[in-house]
Amino acid sequence: MRNTELLPIVMAGGSGTRLWPLSRELYPKQFLTLPGQDLSMLQMTLSRVEGLSDMRPLVISNESHRFLVAEQLRQVGKLEHNILLEPIGRNTAPAVALAALHAQRDGNDPLMLVLAADHMIGDVPAFHAAVHAALPLADAGLLVTFGIVPSTPETGYGYIHRGKPLSEHAFEVASFVEKPDLTTAEKYLATGEYDWNSGMFLFRASVYLKELATYRPDILAACEKSIASSQPDLDFIRIDKEAFTACPSDSIDYAVMEKTLHAAVVPLSANWSDVGAFSSLWEVCDKDSDGNAFHGEVLAFNTANTLILAENCMVATIGVKDLVVVQTKDALLVADLKQVQDVKQIVQQLKASNRPEAQLHRQVYRPWGHYDSVDSGMRHQVKRITVNPGAKLSVQMHHHRAEHWIVVSGTALVTLDGKETLLTENQSIYLPIGAVHALENPGKIPLELIEVQVGPYLGEDDIVRFSDKYGRC
């Protein structure tokens, strides 16, 4: 049953460093399509709320991911001026406050279903049933959180201690407890009174803002100031950067949920996972009789309980068990399945060394499409560029490099120093250093071309933009 005043709020920030090299700073896990899936985690979250609400979801993103979010929403027909941009990360309490304040425009006061973009839920009907069980509680003024019924004594999650029953499917929150040690987690599991803290919530916008005003008025004041001068920009809602930068950082749990006297928990048993590490991904993947989960071109002999993800080359294993092997175009990770939480240590080393692998994949996404850096040397770089139908690169020039473009498929409309040229398959054009140029795909299918750059400096910052339909000047 659809609800006409239920507003899905999807939080799509976060870096997902424990899934490196799949997840990178500029392409984190919520944008990944995991093995065995057809949609990204963000897209699955959006599809999960279909049938619950008539209101279009509001997605909260940061500045650097804005075009990724927009493209993934466009692919599933959910893009409609509904991306709220945070100029800087300030954790979940301010993010949801911005969403609540934005939702109250024009005198509205919806119920807000707050979800993370990087969770997996295998049993969607059970999720819907839990939301329906929570609706009357939220409508009565309670702040509802969804507690995951634990299947193991997990030490990586915080827990919620159930209090008195409120209904057949809901309880008061007796307390929130921090991540326990194994012995304590086993005790929690044995009592049947504790749930994992999922970070999913349902409450009315005004109720959340009232509680925030009580316990963190400083956060609310900064968010009110930030949203007061919000401006539409394409499909984005931009807030005041200076005001939001001054906002304190805090989570919903610490700022409100652990302090409020009006918290309720609805237990949820729906094959939930936050896919927080490769061990979690291995658990949710389909496995063979030896406990292996393979994706891509894999050959294995005498291999057990192993996760292998091969992106673009064959991976072969012999006589191994309990491993994670992740091969991407520019990196290879081999780790003990029991130590995958330490992948973040590798990411820290990459950042300390200013290695690009911490931020970018070899394939880099742009608002117009993407490019793959095929080869590079001291004075040359080769890219395979894909331009979406109707998309256009900025009007630009370079001080240090010349470029050759060779069309592989599709149609390219090239503007070179004011002159337009239409190129099709197997045709090419030369762009001298200093030439003002632009590239557009006027066709109905993706445009693919090879770009060969030659010059003494080939950095991405050697781009002087004169105009750009995506506002990147």
**Average pLDDT of span 195-206:** 97
Which amino acid type is present at position 393? Answer: L
Beta carbons of 309 and 23 less than 8 angstroms apart: no
Q: Which domains does the chain have, with CATH numbers?
A: 6-273 (3.90.550.10), 278-349 (no CATH), 363-467 (2.60.120.10)
Mean pLDDT score of the chain: 95
Q: How far apart are CA 293 and CA 278, in angstroms?
A: 11
**Average pLDDT of span 79-84:** 94
Q: How far apart are CA 67 and CA 75, in angstroms?
A: 12
422, pLDDT greater than 60: yes
pLDDT of residue 13: 85
- At residue 471 the predicted structure's pLDDT band, cuts being 50, 70 and 90, is confident
**Average pLDDT of span 269-279:** 94
Q: Which of 5-19, 121-135, 315-329 has the lowest mean pLDDT?
A: 5-19
- Number of neighbours of residue 92 by Cβ within 10 angstroms: 23
336: three-class secondary structure by DSSP: strand
pLDDT, tens digit, 9 for 90 and up, residues 250-272 = 999 999 999 999 999 999 999 99
Q: How far apart are CA 95 and CA 114, in angstroms?
A: 10
The dihedral region occupied by 359, where left means phi > 0, alpha psi between -120 and 50, and beta the remainder, is: alpha
Which amino acid type is present at position 357? Answer: E
pLDDT, tens digit, 9 for 90 and up, residues 230-249 = 888 888 999 999 999 999 99
129: three-class secondary structure by DSSP: helix
**Closest by alpha carbon to 360, among 352, 369, 351?**
351
**Closest by alpha carbon to 458, among 396, 405, 382, 380?**
380
**Average pLDDT of span 170-194:** 95
